């Protein structure tokens, strides 16, 4: 299993200049490789392979201006961009994508034509070293003051994952004007506890971000999306205001705009990461071994709300939530099984007959008289579909537990209404 450590790179004035020189050389090489590949593509020839590019660029000046393990990695990255382009193109031709993919681009500002730096990839762990305090890199030959000189940069952050170090990439964030180091480490797979098997199911949505049903647990748990989207809308409005301001000035983008986008995405991710963590805590408490998660296709039905239908344009968010949940489960060894949506919200979880939806969040079964929270019902249905042994929940549906985001952690509505100090653990009752 691969994980990434991310730390911020601090640099003095001189170190910063050196980083920028290296970054610019990477961009020069990237652009040269892209030029070669694009020409081949437009001429109808095959795009050269990584090995061929390496031998073609061996004597190239922008390749020779970099240490070999950086130069090779730039070429590899540039070639990989073509691999993903072709993969997307195949999907597009099969009709699985709406828009044709764009061919790999230059690292260059379109308006000014100026080259910009973005990433400095470093190939192997033998060519860099990273600890909690310093990152040290090989310098290009001409930038060394004396033999064996290295670029040593102080770093700030936590190395979350310990394991076998793999590649490292230095990323430049133009909005913050900062460098970050992303280190890939290989960590051993956590042992997956298989027996006794216990199952749970998660239904993802917009109003209720996630609804959880656990085998044999009489309550279902809902993560309310209300506060999360409220915050998202707040920042979206700020973005719109900034865009209006830029429009008036005849500009398209600004550092402030980039920062606002970043803030909005990060705040959303914060809520999602916390959701995944809380979810995993609950799953562990119930000793769940397998989690069924519905495919995202069902979400589209749930997306016609919010000011100006904001969610429709932010479908990516659900992909992110799903990935974060899967990653959090993988870390503790809970298996995640994707289940195809098969009318999970239209049938009653007790008797299977179709339900009425008088209001969006309610599902009423006329056959057995059950009144469900629609998402809790859907989660139970996913559990039923995935499992071979039923969901083990008695007939009468109970009011589901609901958690909401207080911009810091997921807490139960009850806890917040009663004014529980924030230091208390979340309001989910322990299993008896
Ligand atoms: Zn029923």
Kindly state whether residues 211 and 176 are assigned to the same domain: no
Strands 199-204 and 290-294: parallel
Residue 108 sits in the same domain as residue 62: yes
What tens digit of pLDDT does each residue of 332-359 get? 889 999 887 677 778 888 888 888 888 8
The sign one gets for the Cα dihedral 67, 70, 76, 81 is negative
Phi and psi torsions of 166, nearest 5°: -115, -135
Ligand 1 centroid to Cα of residue 363, in Å, is 10
CA of 94 to the centre of ligand 1 (A): 41
Pick from 122, 90, 113: which is nearest to 22 by CA?
A: 122
User: What's the 259 CA to ligand 1 centre distance in angstroms?
Assistant: 50
Q: Are residues 233 and 179 in the same domain?
A: no
Is the Cβ–Cβ distance between 89 and 103 less than 8 Å?
no
CA of 289 to the centre of ligand 1 (A): 28
Report the separation in Å between the CA atom of 249 and the middle of ligand 1, taken as the mean of its atom positions.
Answer: 60
Residue 428 lies in a domain: no
Which of 164, 186, 208 represents a domain boundary (last residue)? 186
The predicted model scores a pTM of 0.79
Considering the domain architecture, whether residues 231 and 336 belong to the same structural domain is answered as: yes
Of 186, 209, 240, which residue constitutes the final position of a domain? 186
Indicate whether 320 and 370 sit together in one domain. yes
Out of 139, 154, 186, pick the residue that ends a domain: 186
Highest mean pLDDT pick, 96-100, 267-271, 328-332, 344-348: 267-271
Q: Do 165 and 303 fall into the same domain?
A: no
Residue 432 lies in a domain: no
Those residues whose C-beta lies under 8 Å from the C-beta of residue 424, and which sit 6 or more positions away, are 415
Domain that holds residue 158: 2-186
Q: State the distance from the centre of ligand 1 to the C-alpha of 217, rounded, in angstroms.
A: 19
Indicate whether 311 pLDDT > 60: no
pLDDT at 415: 57
The average confidence (pLDDT) of the chain is 85
**What's the number of domains the chain is made of?**
2
Q: 347 C-alpha vs ligand 1 centroid, how far in Å? A: 8
Same domain, 121 and 257: no
Q: According to the model, what pLDDT value does residue 431 have?
A: 47
Q: Are residues 237 and 307 in the same domain?
A: yes
19: in domain: yes
Q: Is the peptide bond before 196 cis (omega within 30 degrees of 0)?
A: yes
Give 370 Cα–ligand 1 centroid separation in angstroms. 6
Going from the Cα of 396 to the center of ligand 1, the distance in angstroms, rounded, reads 10
Asked if 390 and 242 sit in the same domain, the reply is yes
164 and 207 co-located in one domain: no
What CA–CA distances, in Å, run from 158 to 134, 275, 408? 12, 21, 20
> How far is the centre of ligand 1, averaged over its atoms, from the C-alpha of 211 (Å)?
19
Residues 61-70 have pLDDT tens digits of 989 999 888 9
Q: What is the pLDDT of residues 210-264, one digit of tens each?
A: 999 998 888 899 999 889 988 988 998 999 999 999 999 998 889 999 999 999 9
Element (H, E) at 232: helix 226-248
Give 335 Cα–ligand 1 centroid separation in angstroms.
Answer: 30
Task: Quote the ligand 1 centre to 341 CA distance (angstroms).
Answer: 19
Q: How many degrees, rounded to 5, is the angle at CA 202 between CA 401 and CA 264? A: 85
Strands 178-186 and 164-173: antiparallel
């Amino acid at each position: 299993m691969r994980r990434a450590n991310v730390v911020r790179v601090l640099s003095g004035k001189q170190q910063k200049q050196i980083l920028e020189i290296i970054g610019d050389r990477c961009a020069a090489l990237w652009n040269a490789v892209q030029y070669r590949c694009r020409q081949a593509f437009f001429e109808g020839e095959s795009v050269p392979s990584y090995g061929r590019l390496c031998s073609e660029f061996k004597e190239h000046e922008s390749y020779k201006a970099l240490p070999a393990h950086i130069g090779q990695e730039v070429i590899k990255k540039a070639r990989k961009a073509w691999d993903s382009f072709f993969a997307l193109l195949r999907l597009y031709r099969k009709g699985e994508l709406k828009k044709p993919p764009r061919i790999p681009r230059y690292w260059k500002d379109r308006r000014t034509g100026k080259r910009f730096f973005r990433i400095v990839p470093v190939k192997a762990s033998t060519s860099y070293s990273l600890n909690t305090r310093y990152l040290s890199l090989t310098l290009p030959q001409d930038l060394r003051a004396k033999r064996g000189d290295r670029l040593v940069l102080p770093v700030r952050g936590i190395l979350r994952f310990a394991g076998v170090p793999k590649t490292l990439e230095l990323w430049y964030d133009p909005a913050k004007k900062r460098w970050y180091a992303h280190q890939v480490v290989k960590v051993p797979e956590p042992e997956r506890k298989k027996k006794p098997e216990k199952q749970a199911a998660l239904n993802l949505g917009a109003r209720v971000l996630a609804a959880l049903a656990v085998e044999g647990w009489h309550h279902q748990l809902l993560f309310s999306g209300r506060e999360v989207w409220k915050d998202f809308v707040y920042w979206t409005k700020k973005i719109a205001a900034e865009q209006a301001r830029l429009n008036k000035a005849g500009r398209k983008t600004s550092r402030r705009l980039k920062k606002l986008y970043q803030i909005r995405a990060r705040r959303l991710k914060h809520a999602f990461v916390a959701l995944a963590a809380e979810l995993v805590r609950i799953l562990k408490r119930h000793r769940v071994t397998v989690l069924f998660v519905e495919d995202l296709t069902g979400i589209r039905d749930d997306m016609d709300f919010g000011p100006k239908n904001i969610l429709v344009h932010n479908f990516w968010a659900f992909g992110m939530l799903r990935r974060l949940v899967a990653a959090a489960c993988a870390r503790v060894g809970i298996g995640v099984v994707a289940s195809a949506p098969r009318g999970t919200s239209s049938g009653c979880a007790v008797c299977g007959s179709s339900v009425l939806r008088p209001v969006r969040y309610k599902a009423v079964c006329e056959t057995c008289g059950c009144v469900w929270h629609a998402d809790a019902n859907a989660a139970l249905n996913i559990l039923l579909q995935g499992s071979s042994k039923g969901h083990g929940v008695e007939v009468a549906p109970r009011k589901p537990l609901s958690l909401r985001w207080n911009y810091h952690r997921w807490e139960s509505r009850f806890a917040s209404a009663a004014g529980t100090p924030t230091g208390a653990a979340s309001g989910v009752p322990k299993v008896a």
